[in-house]
Amino acid sequence: MNKDFKQILENIEKSLNKALPQTATSEGWTPDSFGSLPAGATAEYINKLIEPNRALVSLGGKRWRPLLMMLCYKMAKEKSASKGGSPALSEEETYSITPLVEFVHTASLIHDDIEDNADLRRGKPAAHITYGLDTALNAGSWLYFEAPVCINQLNAPDSLKLELYKTYTNELRRLHLGQAMDIFWHRNPDVFPPQEEYLAMVKCKTGTLASLAAKLGCIAGGLSAAEAENFGSIAADIGIGFQIIDDVINLTTGNPGKKRGDDIVEGKKSLPVLIHSSLRPADKAKIAEYMKTAASNGIDSPAVEECIALLKESNCIEKAAEQGKNLIQQSCERFNSKEIQDLFISMIPENFR
């Protein structure tokens, strides 16, 4: 990754730590988040909300979404200046709203792991394993609402705050629509959606966070709502490309912190599965049976590797990888920013370039 991104990432980390402290005793944080609380609502209980989220944030992650947001801010600021305009927010203020992107991502991971019954996240036990299903579910839900506190704290016109809220909540609703589609498919092993529906699902579920990052950065940098919408759509397409590559990695080396083929256990209708089923429709029943068996017996079930072996017969994994890579590269060219292009190209695993 571009060495010039180091300072941006450090500033992002400071903003995240300020917005979600280690404990509720950080000065001024509790009133900003909850207002005036009754005496019995002590820090001990607030920490039940903070801890599962803070633990996941502290495990790292690429932070590419808030980084994209800041790079879009820089791009938008330059475009706005070229037309005699000025940014809507200062650079410092824009850093302060990066939790809108990263906290949504964190909350969605907690919920995703619950819905997929996943054991691991970033190489550690998932939040619902460590803290219990009820605590993890509640804490993840809270973080969706905690994220926009950073908008409240801006010294900005109400009209701008409203635009930021509208952008945030609209993308959040799209995320849940995408998740609804994904859940329906993996709960019904015999359902194989057309690729068009798969791409729509991913654009909502995964692409929406890239879209949110780009839109927020563009709005903060002074671009119009229409311009922000355009760059958000491009970023969402890039998000689709990376999800496709994740689909491929899951069936080859296995995603970091997870085991190879856990998408088979979860009954995921990933792009390689859909490509294979379109090329060899007669295999649908066999794939569905493998997924049912794997779901019942777990990741060590022979059905996992048997299903992967079947998929390899049609070269669907290679076809999906090529489609994902091309989508990323073609979409990157639509960004008039070498830094943004460098960011995304650097994120493509070397064996996919």
Q: What is residue 350's predicted lDDT score, i.e. its pLDDT? A: 78
How sure is the predictor about 119, in pLDDT bands with cuts at 50, 70 and 90? Answer: confident
Q: Kindly state the average pLDDT of the residues 115-132.
A: 90
CB < 8 Å & 24+ apart, contacts of 166-169? 167/212, 167/215, 167/216, 167/219, 167/228, 168/100, 168/104, 168/212, 168/216
Q: Which helix (H) or strand (E) holds 107?
A: helix 99-116
Place of tokens 């010294």: 155
DSSP 20: S
Q: Kindly state the average pLDDT of the residues 311-316.
A: 97
Mean pLDDT of the chain: 94
Q: What is residue 2's predicted lDDT score, i.e. its pLDDT? A: 67
Nearest Cα to Cα of residue 171 among 40, 47, 69: 69
DSSP 154: -
Full set of structural domains in the chain with CATH: 5-22+42-352 (1.10.600.10)
How sure is the predictor about 75, in pLDDT bands with cuts at 50, 70 and 90? Answer: very high
| Per-residue pLDDT tens digits for 39-73 | 999 999 999 999 999 999 999 888 999 999 999 99
| Per-residue pLDDT tens digits for 214-255 | 999 999 999 999 999 999 999 999 999 999 999 999 999 887
Share above pLDDT 90 across residues of the chain, in percent, rounded to a whole number: 85
How sure is the predictor about 171, in pLDDT bands with cuts at 50, 70 and 90? Answer: very high
Q: Distance between CA atoms of 183 and 173, rounded to whole angstroms?
A: 15
Q: What is residue 27's predicted lDDT score, i.e. its pLDDT? A: 73
pLDDT surpassing 60 at residue 314: yes
Whether the pTM exceeds 0.85: the reply is yes
Write out 127-146 in H/E/C secondary structure. Answer: HHHHHCHHHHHHHHHHHHHH
